[in-house]
Structure 1
Amino acid sequence: MAKRRILAGGIAQESHSFNPVPTGRSWFNIRAGREAVEGARGSNSVLGGIVDAAEASGAEVIVPVLFRAQSGGPVEEAVFADARDILCDAARRGDFDAIVLPLHGGMLTPSLEDPEGALMAALRAIVGDDVPMTAGFDLHAHVTPEILARCDLLAGYLTNPHADQGSTGRRATRAALDMLEGRLRPALAAVHLPMLTLGHDRTDEEPLLSLHRRAREAVERGAAHDVSIFNAQQFLDVRGLGQWVLAYGNGTPPDDVALELARTLWDRRRELIGTYPSLEEQLDRAARGTPRPLVLGDQGDRVAGGSPGDGTHVLRALLARGDLPASAVPVVDAEAVRACLAAGPGREVTLTVGGRFSRVAPPTEVTGVVVAAGTSAEVVYDGPADAGYRAALGAHAVLRAGKVHVVLTDQPYSYLDPGYFRAMGVDPAQLGIVVTRSGYHFTLNYAAIGECVTVDTPGMTSYRVAELPFTVARPFFPLDDIEVTPRLHARGSGVP
């Protein structure tokens, strides 16, 4: 038998409907061909899982292109069209047996609420219904009926914070290979719930801990072939926003599994609204001294949640106190980076930074010494989340104002891994306070460095969603007091 070939690639980004800064081409890491395959092999990424599972089965992976960016505003139309067209051109050339897509699932463009569904529709129009097509999505994806109608099996991350990107890719790949060998005929039972989880949605804590355990047990005892529970990104003003429970059987939809999990999720919805300690409380702790560095997640200005990353709320709090240990805080400001590059390391400058898009706190004047500046750098993730993943860093500078290291970049980064700071010459392990643009995803990769704490800060990605101008997505819990009886949206067996 000839070696099986799998077509993989696409475009992966998580969008924020209320972020006015579009995500352009320069914000993406773009890989293709052998470089993409070799760079992914062995990494804890969805593409890494696809490559590893395929090669373990003697199959080959073809990657025409993979665009990957951090969260932000909607993706420019031309960027999405470019990635779609490259993948579709490869699909027209044929010479592959299945498609496995390493996507995020929460992307927007100015005209599309569901770009992933549009991509899958374009691919189906080319390859027809008989070619297996599966995908690996982030747990925070915006799943739609259009996606479910075209994707034979959609595998979502099972952990939050995310540690199973690679195994998600392997699940999706094994499903496609099993379909090719006639061992699997995916049959879907799906339930949608118009609700959001708001900050209390870690899968290693209740209530999701036991829900995922029950889903896992259903798979282990053979009641379902694969189960994913999607907790939608909270800042998408799109139709059908909410949670999805997807349970796949082999030939027969596992209706009872999907319904039981969805009913429990809805019944425990109020437990999914979390609370966080204040920034001031954590700064007071740092001032008294802590055994390990405090790594703070600025949840109000989370690039990991799609914010612009130029908020100054935490920066102003750090600058206002003289009793704190050395710290690092990131701020996006391309103009300030250019000024630091022009001045050069060792020079003192006075700059006004941040606050142009994140309006909770105003632009802030900072006087300090440029200690590092560059036009590019490479970040290598320590992991465990995305371990081994390589990302390109654009123009950057570090401005030291007293004990505060203001880490300036020309593009937003979430700092999910300590490698971002190290790439700019800052060792987070040697500081007393490290600020990340993340709510809790950072906790896995910083656990070896310090104590990770998410703080309650205001901003575009605060879990106070009542402050955001939702229109299209409503009604949904908790903004609306609605009654829901979970019901099946079952597709059954095969592609319709």
Structure 2
Amino acid sequence: MSRPRIAIAGFQHETNTFSPAPTRMENFESGGAWPALTRGADLFDVFLGLNIPLGGFIDAAKDDCDLVPILWSNAEPGGYVAQDAFDRISAMIASGLEEAGELDGLYLDLHGAMVTEDFEDGEGELLRRLRAVVGPDLPIAVSLDLHGNLTREFVELASVLAIYRTYPHVDMAATGARAHKLLMETLANGRPFAKAFRQLEYLIPLQAQSTMREPGRRIYGLLPGFESPGVASVDLAFGFPPADIHHCGTSIVAFGSDQDAVDQAADSLLETLRKSESEFHNPLVPANAAVRQAMDAANGAEKPIVLADPQDNPGAGAVGDTTGLLKALVQEGAKKACLGMLWDPESARKAHETGVGGTFEASLGDCLPQPDCSSLDIAVRVEAVSDGQFRFTGPMFGGTHADLGLMAVLLILDDHSEVRVVVGSRRAQNADQAIYRHIGIDPTEQKIVAVKSAVHFLADYQPIAEQVIFTESPGANPCQLDRIPFKRLRSGVRLGPEGPAYAPAAQ
């Protein structure tokens, strides 16, 4: 087979429909923890070598495909994607395909949980628009996030899917490479794969989804074993619960040459998930109790105690500006403790104006007012500042250039505690120690390290932690699923493992 011409593009967003943080065009254009909107040949310079699916696809395909680069864009998880932004970026990709000439295939680096102001299934609508350009028969390979909320319509529009198999997502580039492999198999076969799509009857909370822990580790470890001469791939998306849409939840996709074998593999994995329901746990400790537990555990410990603040995790669409856990650290008198990153552009600006060593009266957090949230009004000393430009170094984001705007380390001036908070100007979850290290804080020298993240932090922080505690504090990423005010979820889905069944009429 001659070298196929493959167009490549990406358009990612993880939409939390309960988040007050808007997702506009400028969020896709500006970057932050992810690269900014990139077009044309610049895709090769920006993404090759990064742990991003597009980078993995480029690396796998560069020797056997002629790649036609179009566009890649991502915005930090947040609220509904503005319809104007979705329309504009979709049109850019469609226009690029129209100008690309004759193609043998298309690769898309998508997320799977995008919700726009007009469409619950953002990826499905994108594929419908692109199919109108390339036709119904062009092979389209798509890589997806493990947190995708998939629909049958979307699966039908794609030719083949590859989904991350790790959470934290340390295999994003590897997933792009798998998408390349499956696309090449499709081209070699000369006919479409048979498909199977299944949905699970219960939702799984984000902090119970980690593949570094059970049962996620065991279940995802089963996936390669499903491959056979008749089954090319079986993948699992745990889903993204804070999305009030009909198809929110866990789903299974399988592809191969033998429809019966594909169906059997999907059914087998579905039965495994059903039998594993009781194994998923959601242990959240109220913030003050979690801090006291951390302080006790830190006595004599050789490593820091890591506190996660999952309900204010910007990586799941929360704002990243709530102060519940920060207040608990101060109230309980925590020593050698740090928290990062608090999204607070105004405090970061004041810190730069004040200068290192100076003090000012800060009103920390609460930049986007939310229920049960308030700022922490207290004096602080500026200990360090940065422009927010640095390289991530951890297993998930390593090598990616961060641009988080003005940042600062602020010491809370309190007689009973020793707490430092890292503030920044662009929302980002703390999944990489570089957020602390680049500005002068060594996490391994702290007794307590608090991170605004749900699970991704585990890749870089669990190896240095004596213990990890998941805290319950206010935020826009609701983790107690039976408390989420769903209105559009399909009837009968259980709100958490062994949780109550959702009944729309009861809301």
* AA of the residue aligned to 1:284: M
* Aligned counterparts of 2:312 and 2:266: Cα–Cα separation in 1: 34
The alpha-carbon deviation at position 38 of structure 1 amounts to 2.2
Retained in 1: the 8 A contact 2:242–2:478? Answer: no
Q: Distance in 2 between matches of 1:215 and 1:223?
A: 15
SS at match of 2:385: strand
Letter in 2 for 1:472: R
- Contact in 1 for aligned 2:106/2:140 (Cα 8 Å): yes
Please tell me the residue identity of whatever aligns with 2:79: G
Once the two structures are superposed, residues 301-346 of structure 1 have per-residue CA deviations (whole angstroms, 9 ceiling, x without a partner) of: 1112211111101110122243522423322122222322332333
Aligned: 1:17 with 2:17:
yes
State the match for 2:167 in structure 1: 160
Match of 2:479 among 463, 472, 477: 463
Q: In the aligned structure 2, how far is the partner of 1:306 from the partner of 1:191?
A: 26
Equivalent residue, structure 2, for 1:490: none
Could you tell me which residue of structure 2 aligns to residue 208 of structure 1? 216
Change in 2 beyond 3 A, CA 1:224/1:454:
farther
The counterpart of 1:283, out of the listed 294, 304, 309, is 294
Change in CA separation of 1:116 and 1:274 when aligned onto 2, cut-off 3 Å? same
Question: CA shift at 1:31, angstroms?
Answer: 2.1
Q: Does 1:292 align with 2:303?
A: yes
Deviations 1:59-83 (A, max 9, x none): 2333322112222222222222222
**8 Å Cα contact 2:404/2:427 also seen in 1:** no
CA distance in 2, matches of 1:82, 1:466: 36
- What do residues 234-261 of structure 1 show as CA deviations (whole Å, max 9, x unaligned)? 1000012221111111253511111121
Contact map agreement 1:332 1:410 (CA 8 A) in 2: yes
Distance 1:193 1:30, change over 3 A: same
Cα distance change on mapping 1:205 and 1:339 into 2, 3 Å: closer
- Residues 198-257 of structure 1 deviation map (CA, whole Å, 9 limit, x = unaligned): 2322234333333333332111x4452101111111100001222111111125351111
Residues 105, 34 of structure 1: alpha-carbon distance in 2 compared, 3 angstrom cutoff: same
Say if 2:297 and 2:305, in contact at 8 Å, map to a contact too.
yes
The question of whether the paired residues in 2 share the 8 Å contact of 1:194 and 1:241 is answered with no
What's the CA shift for 1:408?
1.4
User: In structure 2, do the counterparts of structure 1 residues 118 and 382 end up closer, same or farther at CA, with 3 Å as the change threshold?
Assistant: same
- The one-letter amino acid paired with 1:175 is L
Amino acid at match of 1:213: G
Following the alignment from structure 1 to structure 2, what is the Cα–Cα distance between the partners of residues 281 and 266?
37
State TM-score, norm by structure 1: 0.90
| Partners of 2:500 and 2:363 in 1: CA distance | 44
Asked whether 1:417 is paired with 2:432, we answer yes
Cα deviation for residue 389 of structure 1 reads 2.4
Higher mean C-alpha deviation, range 470-479 or range 124-133: 470-479
Match of 2:33 in 1: none
**For residues 381 and 346 of structure 1, do their structure 2 counterparts lie closer, same or farther at Cα, with a shift above 3 Å needed?**
same
Q: Share of identical aligned residues, percent?
A: 28
Q: Measure, in 1, the Cα distance between the counterparts of 2:4 and 2:467.
A: 44
Q: After superposing the two structures, state which structure 1 stretch, 321-330 or 249-258, moved more.
A: 321-330
Partner of residue 389, structure 2: 378
Aligned to 1:8: 8
Could you tell me which of 87, 98, 106 is aligned with 2:105? 98
Name the aligned partner's letter for residue 494 of structure 2: F
Per the alignment, in what secondary structure is the counterpart of residue 189 of structure 2? coil
Secondary structure at the aligned position of 1:65 is classed as strand
Match of 1:40 in 2: 47
| One-letter amino acid of the structure 2 residue matched with residue 101 of structure 1 | L
* Residue 86 in structure 1 maps to residue 92 in structure 2: yes
Letter in 1 for 2:427: P
| 1: CA distance, partners of 2:392 / 2:467 | 17
Distance 1:336 1:323 in 2: 22
Question: Contact (CA 8 Å) 2:37, 2:71: kept in 1 or not?
Answer: yes
Residues 1:93 and 1:449: Cα distance change in structure 2 (over 3 Å): same
* TM-aligned CA distance change 1:400 to 1:116, over 3 Å: same
Decide whether the 8 Å contact of 1:287 with 1:323 is kept in 2: no
TM-score by length of 2: 0.88
Q: Indicate conservation of the 8 Å contact 2:310/2:454, yes or no.
A: yes
Aligned 8 A contact 1:191 1:262 in 2: yes
- Tell me, yes or no, if structure 1 residue 132 matches structure 2 residue 147: no
CA–CA distance in structure 1, aligned partners of residues 293 and 390 of structure 2: 28
How much has 1:139 moved relative to structure 2? 0.6
Aligned AA for 1:465?
A: L
Q: CA deviation at 1:448?
A: 4.3
CA contact (8 A) 2:15 2:80 kept: yes
Q: What amino acid maps onto 1:296 in structure 2?
A: L
What are the superposed Cα offsets for residues 373-400 of structure 1, whole Å, 9 maximum, x if unpaired?
Answer: 35x4334222322332223222322222
| Cα shift readout 1:68-104 (whole Å, capped 9, x = no counterpart) | 2222222222222222111111111123321111111
Q: Distance in 2 between matches of 1:323 and 1:414?
A: 22
1:393 is aligned to 404
Matched, 1:405 2:411: no
Residue 429 (structure 1) aligned with residue 444 (structure 2) = yes
Q: Tell me: CA distance 1:183–1:425, structure 2 relative to 1, closer, same or farther (3 Å).
A: farther
Supply the distance in 2 between the matched residues of 1:213 and 1:388 (Cα, whole angstroms).
27
1:360 aligns with 2:372: yes
Question: Structure 2 counterpart of 1:272, which letter?
Answer: F
Q: Do the aligned residues in 2 keep the contact of 1:297 with 1:452 (CA within 8 Å)?
A: no
Cα contact 1:296–1:433 (8 A) shared by 2: yes
Residues 11-63 of structure 1, C-alpha deviation per residue, up to 9 Å, x if partnerless? 212111111120233433222233322222122221111111111x4223333
Number of aligned residues: 480
Q: Write the distance in 2 (CA, Å) between the matches of 1:341 and 1:160.
A: 36
The one-letter code sitting in structure 1 at the alignment partner of 2:20 is P
Structure 2: runs of 5+ lacking an equivalent: 29-35, 503-507
Secondary structure of 2:421 counterpart: strand
Q: Is the aligned partner of 1:175 residue 2:182?
A: yes
SS at match of 2:222: helix
* CA–CA separation in structure 1 for the residues paired with 2:7 and 2:201: 34
Query: What is the SS of the residue equivalent to 1:89?
Result: helix
- 5+ long unaligned stretches in structure 1: 484-496
Alpha-carbon distance in structure 1 between the residues aligned to 2:202 and 2:480: 14
Matches within 5 A, 1:49-68: 49-55=56-62, 57-68=63-74
Query: Which amino acid in the other structure matches residue 279 of structure 1?
Result: A
Distance 1:181 1:287, change over 3 A: closer
Tell me the distance in 1 between the aligned counterparts of 2:282 and 2:240. Answer: 15
User: What is the CA deviation profile of residues 336-360 of structure 1, one whole-angstrom value per residue up to 9, with x for unaligned ones?
Assistant: 2232233233321111111343443
87-96 or 396-405, which moves further after superposition? 396-405
Structure 1 residues 74 and 396: alpha-carbon distance in aligned structure 2, compared to 1, 3 A threshold = farther
Amino acid at match of 2:49: G
1:67 partner amino acid: S
SS class of match (1:160): coil
Match of 1:334 in 2: 345
For 1:261, which of 269, 273, 290 is the aligned residue?
269
State the match for 2:505 in structure 1: none
1:100 and 1:204 mapped to 2: Cα distance? 29
Indicate conservation of the 8 Å contact 2:283/2:470, yes or no.
no
- What one-letter code is carried by the residue in structure 1 that aligns with 2:196? A
Alignment of 1:302-321 (within 5 A): 302-321=313-332
